């Protein structure tokens, strides 16, 4: 469905640039949820903005790579071009729904607007109304809520409205950038449940960006772990948790406190996270890696291909079993 290949995003001039995202590749199948995971500053949000075509002029720019939606390059196309070409679209939802909603329009009007824009561009009539979309995102008494203004809704309801607006654009892929980070756990569980349902019933594909490994474990089908602007490991979710091959992935897993398995001291990763572009030679994780040897700091790394579509950017991938 969505295939991102060799995506590099740089800052600086074309002659003198620093890659902040470097050679990122991943793909998402129909109805699949891919979790793009990493700590702050690893380049995960930048990647999603590039795929969405939302990188502002004068800021970071796409140096290499493609993002193909059903074979159509979406990065280098204007949004209307990709819709006109019959490739539907990519829609996006963000962490803070309030700043994406217009405070002086009712939520019904805002969904309507999305429906109309989509209709104008594609020329095809939808037979779904704003109310249908509100029901699709499981807003109780949609008939009444349709006339509400954003400030009258709770945080969870607002995020549902954002999802409804995104759906009104009839996307094939939904990019969700930390959509539940600002929400309470009980609300988060419901939003995650809704996203799962939309994947299963509509065949929607989701690129889910998060730092929360708990959410990753419960929701996503495949995982891409990012560190310092690179994807260091991709695999099916159970492989990542049960047999992490990259030392960074493994270390990240063991940092996580789990009250069901309390330990006296948590495992930590020594040092600080490398900024993208800070380490240009060898493996960016080598200075913090417990298993690093000299050649890790020297050569450009190849991806190690492991079983079941499992790749790790490491010379010595491990079958670390938790």
Partner 1 sequence: MIEQPLLDVRGLSTDYTAKRGGKTVRVQAVKDVSFTLAKREVLGIVGESGCGKTSVGRSIIRLAKPHRGEVIFSGKDIFTTGGDALKQLRLKIRMVFQDPFASLNPRRSIGDSIAETGDIHGLFASKAERHRQVQQALSNVGLDGSFAARYPHELSGGQRQRVGIARAILPAPDVVIADEAVSALDVSVQAQVLNLLADLRESMGLSMIFISHDLGVVGQISDRVAVMYMGRIVETAPTASIIEQPIHPYTRTLMAARPKPDPRIRIKAGIEIGEPPSQFERPAGCPYAKRCPLVTTICTTDDPALRTIAPGRLVACHNV
Binding mask 176-195 for partner 1 (x = CB under 8 A): --------xxxxxxx-xxx-
Query: Judged by CB under 8 A, how many residues of this single chain contact partner 1?
Result: 52
CA angle 134, 140, 145 (to 5 degrees): 65
Token pair of 306 as six digits: 């492991």
Considering only 164, 224, 251, 314, the residue that binds partner 1 (CB under 8 A) is 251
279 sits near partner 1 (criterion: CB under 8 A): no
101 near partner 1, rule: CB under 8 A:
no
Binding of partner 1 by 129 (CB under 8 A): no
Q: Per rule CB under 8 A, is residue 174 in the interface with partner 1?
A: no
Residue 203 touching partner 1 (CB under 8 A): no
Q: Does residue 307 interact with partner 1 by CB under 8 A?
A: no
**Residue in 96, 113, 135, 242 binding partner 1, rule: CB under 8 A:** 242
- Is 309 a binding residue for partner 1 by CB under 8 A? The answer is no
Calpha distance 261→279 (Å, rounded):
35
Cβ atoms of residues 204 and 29 within 8 Å: no
Q: Segment near partner 1 (CB under 8 A), from 8-16, 89-97, 167-175, 215-223? A: 215-223
Minimum distance, C-beta of residue 256 to partner 1, in the bound complex (Å): 5
Q: Contacts from 133-140 at CB under 8 Å and sequence distance 24+?
A: 133/164, 133/165, 133/167, 133/168, 134/107, 134/108, 134/160, 134/161, 134/164, 136/164, 136/167, 136/198, 137/161, 137/163, 137/164, 137/167, 137/194, 138/190, 138/194, 138/197, 139/164
Other CB atoms closer than 10 Å to residue 232's CB: what's the count?
A: 26
**Which residue from 85, 267, 295, 307 is in contact with partner 1, where contact means CB under 8 A?**
267
CA-to-CA dists, residue 182 to 1, 70, 137, angstroms: 29, 33, 19
Work out which of 46, 165, 206, 273 binds partner 1, going by CB under 8 A.
273
Report the alpha-carbon distance of residue 287 to residue 291 in Å, rounded.
10
Give the footprint of partner 1 on residues 24-43 (CB under 8 A): 39-40
Name the minimum Å distance from CB 62 to partner 1.
26
Site for partner 1 in 130-149 (CB under 8 A): 138
Contact 235, 273 (CB under 8 A): no
Residues in touch with partner 1 (CB under 8 A): 39-40, 138, 154, 156-157, 184-190, 192-194, 196-197, 200, 211-219, 237-238, 240-242, 251-253, 255-260, 262-269, 272-273
């Amino acid at each position: 469905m969505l295939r991102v290949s060799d995506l590099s995003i740089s800052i600086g001039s074309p002659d003198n640039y620093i890659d902040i995202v470097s050679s990122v590749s991943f793909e998402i199948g129909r109805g699949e949820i891919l979790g793009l995971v990493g700590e702050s500053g690893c380049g995960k949000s930048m990647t999603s903005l590039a795929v969405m075509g939302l990188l502002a002029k004068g800021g970071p720019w796409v140096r290499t790579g493609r993002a193909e939606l059903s074979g159509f390059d979406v990065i280098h196309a204007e949004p209307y071009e990709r819709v006109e070409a019959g490739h539907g679209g990519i829609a996006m939802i963000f962490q803070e729904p309030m700043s994406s909603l217009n405070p002086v329009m009712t939520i019904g009007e805002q969904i309507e607007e999305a429906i109309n824009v989509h209709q104008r561009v594609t020329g095809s009539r939808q037979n779904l109304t704003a109310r249908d979309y509100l029901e699709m995102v499981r807003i109780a008494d949609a008939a009444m809520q349709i006339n509400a203004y954003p400030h009258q809704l709770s945080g969870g309801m607002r995020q549902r409205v954002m999802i409804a607006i995104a759906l009104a654009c009839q996307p094939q892929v939904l990019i969700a950038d930390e959509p539940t980070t600002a929400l309470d756990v009980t609300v988060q569980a419901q939003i995650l449940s809704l996203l799962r349902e939309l994947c299963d019933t509509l065949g929607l594909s989701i690129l889910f960006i998060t730092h929360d490994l708990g959410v990753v474990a419960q929701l996503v089908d495949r995982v891409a772990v990012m560190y310092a602007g690179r994807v260091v490991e991709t695999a099916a979710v159970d492989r990542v948790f049960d047999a992490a091959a990259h030392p960074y992935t493994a270390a990240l897993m063991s940092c996580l406190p789990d009250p069901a398995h309390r330990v006296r001291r948590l495992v930590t990763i020594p040092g600080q996270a490398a900024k993208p572009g800070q380490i240009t030679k060898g493996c960016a994780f080598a200075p913090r890696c417990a298993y690093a040897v000299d050649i890790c700091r020297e050569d450009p790394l190849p991806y190690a291909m492991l079983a079941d579509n499992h790749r790790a950017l490491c010379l010595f991938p491990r079958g670390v079993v938790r």
